[in-house]
């Protein structure tokens, strides 16, 4: 559900929970026991520290002044062979390129949801929780009888329409929305028919939006992972394969039950969550900056950097746990992947 409200989040969760990607580990290093959490964030070249664990309790993104002490670090690493890394960086933190402009206040949003299934109410509740007052949501569906959950920040409208038909989509100013979410008709169609209808919808959306840089973020649900590549042909910002993240998470827990409090914190709205935030709030656009500089800039904001999204690289632009010496030429469209509490 969290993946639906911001493009790119699904890829980050999949990377963390998939055994083929960078994974979450517990790591003990007495050499930095006297360090603060903010200092620990910059202690390793190839490891991303994301929290602290002690006596069975896990705190992701604790306050920067928290002492590491005798507990364990919660880290993200390519594999466990990277864990014994010696503290120390080859990269330099360049404070001169850190942004002095705070993040722009988020205004009301306008969201278009196409489709309906049993997961839709949870998606709407999640969208409402993070929406600013005065936001609007338009729901269009061909199947189902939508019963909307109570919404506080979103003024919602519901209409009937064949969402895979271009004429239906043309009746809405698609390019003017902030976000478009396409849900599968999994309650009414079999997997392949539901995905086929979704794919047609995505192709129409991409044609209607065109190459507009200020067009909406398009997030789509798919039922069969084999259809993910087809969806990417439409240059969708994010493709969420239903239940994939949950399945990956359960597999991880079967291997290491100690990860349970980490996952609980990540997926709990009251805990530290994953956000993809404008890079301009961390580093001045146009500057050439090391990832170590990005990490330090996030720490100043009370956040834990987890990675970076290079907008120009499209589907391949999400980098989780890059080395601290990795350099980025920061653009206005780039995003910093952070753990934060809002």
pLDDT per position as a tens digit, 250-302 = 888 888 999 999 988 887 767 788 999 999 999 999 999 999 999 999 999 99
Is residue 70 included in any domain, yes or no?
A: yes
- What number is the average pLDDT over the span 142-165? 95
Q: Residues 43, 152: one domain?
A: no
Taking the CA atoms of 276, 281, 285 and 290 in sequence, report the sign of the dihedral they define: negative
Claim to verify: residue 155 and residue 120 sit in the same structural domain = yes
For the chain, helix (H) and strand (E) counts, in that order, are 9, 16
Average pLDDT along the chain: 88
CATH of the domain at 71: 3.30.70.1450
Label residue 211 by pLDDT band (50, 70, 90): low
Determine, yes or no, domain membership for 312: no
- Mean pLDDT in residue range 238-242: 69
Secondary element (H or E) of residue 297: helix 291-300
Least Cα distance to 118 among 236, 224, 221, 227 occurs for: 221
- Domain harbouring 174, CATH code: 3.40.50.720
E-assigned strand segments in 214-334: 217-222, 238-241, 273-278, 288-290, 304-309, 318-320, 327-329
- The domain containing residue 234 runs over which residues? 2-14+104-247
Of residues 313 and 170, more confidence is placed in 170
Rounded to whole angstroms, the Cα distance separating 204 from 201 reads 5
Does residue 2 register a pLDDT over 70? no
Q: List, as one string, the DSSP characters of 123-171.
A: HHHHHHHHSPTTEEEEEEESSS---PPP-SSEEEEEEE--TTSHHHHHT
Reported as a pLDDT band with limits 50, 70 and 90, residue 64 is very high
Instruction: List the one residue out of 320, 322, 267, 289 whose CA is nearest residue 94.
Output: 289
- Is residue 166 in some structural domain? yes
Q: What is the pTM of this model?
A: 0.81
pLDDT at 249 (0 to 100): 84
> How would residue 41 be classed by pLDDT, with cut points 50, 70 and 90?
very high
Residue at token pair 């005798």: 70
Whether 142 and 55 map to the same domain: the answer is: no
pLDDT (tens digit, 9 = 90+) per residue, 97-137?
999 887 677 889 999 999 999 999 989 998 998 889 999 99
Alpha helices (runs of H) in 210-285, residue ranges in sequence order: 228-232, 244-255, 260-267
pLDDT mean over 242-254? 79
Domain boundary among 192, 215, 247: 247
Domain tally for the chain?
2
pLDDT, residue 233, reads 66
Specify whether 181 is located in the same domain as 61: no
Q: What is the DSSP letter of 53?
A: E
If pLDDT is split at 50, 70 and 90, which confidence band does 339 have? very high
Beta bridge pairs of residue 140:
114, 159
Instruction: Please tell me whether residues 79 and 108 are part of one structural domain.
Output: no
pLDDT value of residue 231: 72
Same domain, 146 and 57: no
């Amino acid at each position: 559900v969290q993946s639906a409200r911001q493009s790119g989040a699904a890829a980050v969760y999949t990377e963390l929970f998939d055994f083929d990607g960078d994974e979450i580990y517990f790591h003990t290093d007495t050499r930095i026991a006297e360090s603060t959490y903010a200092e620990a964030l910059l202690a390793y070249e190839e490891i991303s520290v994301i929290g602290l664990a002690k006596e069975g309790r896990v705190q992701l993104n604790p306050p920067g002044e928290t002492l590491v002490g005798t507990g364990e670090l919660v880290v993200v690493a390519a594999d466990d062979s990277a864990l014994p890394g010696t503290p120390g960086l080859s990269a330099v933190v360049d404070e001169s390129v850190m942004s002095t402009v705070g993040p722009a206040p988020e205004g009301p949003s306008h969201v278009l949801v196409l489709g309906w299934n049993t997961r839709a109410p949870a998606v709407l509740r999640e969208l409402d929780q993070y929406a600013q007052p005065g936001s609007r949501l338009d729901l269009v569906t061909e199947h189902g009888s939508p019963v909307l959950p109570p919404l506080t920040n979103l003024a919602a409208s519901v209409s009937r329409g064949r969402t895979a038909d271009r004429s239906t989509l043309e009746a809405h100013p698609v390019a003017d929305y902030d976000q478009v979410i396409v849900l599968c008709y999994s309650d009414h169609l079999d997997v392949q028919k539901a995905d086929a209808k979704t794919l047609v919808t995505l192709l129409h959306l991409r044609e209607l939006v065109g190459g507009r840089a200020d067009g909406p973020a398009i997030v789509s649900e798919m039922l069969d992972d084999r259809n993910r590549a087809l969806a990417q042909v439409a240059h969708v910002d994010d493709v969420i394969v239903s239940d994939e993240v949950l399945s990956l998470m359960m597999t991880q827990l079967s291997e290491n039950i100690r990860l349970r409090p980490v996952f609980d914190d990540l997926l709990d709205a009251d805990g530290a969550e994953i956000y993809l935030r404008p890079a301009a709030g961390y580093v001045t656009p146009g500057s050439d900056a090391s990832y170590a500089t990005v990490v330090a800039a996030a720490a100043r904001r009370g956040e834990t950097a987890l990675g970076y999204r290079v907008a120009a690289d499209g589907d391949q632009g999400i980098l989780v746990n890059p080395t601290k010496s990795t350099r980025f030429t920061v653009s206005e469209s780039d995003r910093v992947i952070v753990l934060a509490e809002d």
